[in-house]
Structure 1
Amino acid sequence: MDEVFDALIRRVHQCAEDGAVVTVKIDGERMLAGVPAVYTVVISGGRLSRDDFYRRDGRDIAELVQGALDYYQSARSR
């Protein structure tokens, strides 16, 4: 596998060990409709407050996962 992908998965797993829920969705309906933003990434729980979460749609799954991880990591400093 790709080293960047492996590193992202390890970081996602660390979030889960904190109690976070990380969801990555690939929307085939959007894909068939020609919508370029077929990926959705959501992270909630863990060190995020009860009402805090991160959700983004886009066309670059690695960029979306990285954004979610950065958001989650920044929760420590908020």
Structure 2
Amino acid sequence: MLQLRDTCVYIVKNNEDIVYIGITEDIDGARKTHVETDQQFTDVVAVTDDLTADQADQICADLMEDYVSSNGGDTPLYNN
């Protein structure tokens, strides 16, 4: 079965700090969700596009692992 390539990995930044790492099929909808939850941020950036959900999950996991290892075991502020 052909997998859709409609998913992207994105980061939310507050100035230069990454405060969220996630995946979405709708970057504008993701931005709206972060606004509606009153999160403090300055930018929402798609770092990939046109991925399958499995590819996006793997890249997101890799980015999260890199972030955690570079930040003393802490996850981004809004990733619970």
- TM-score normalized by the length of structure 1: 0.34
Instruction: Pick 1 or 2: higher relative contact order, CA cutoff 8 A, min separation 6.
Output: 2
TM-score by length of 2: 0.34
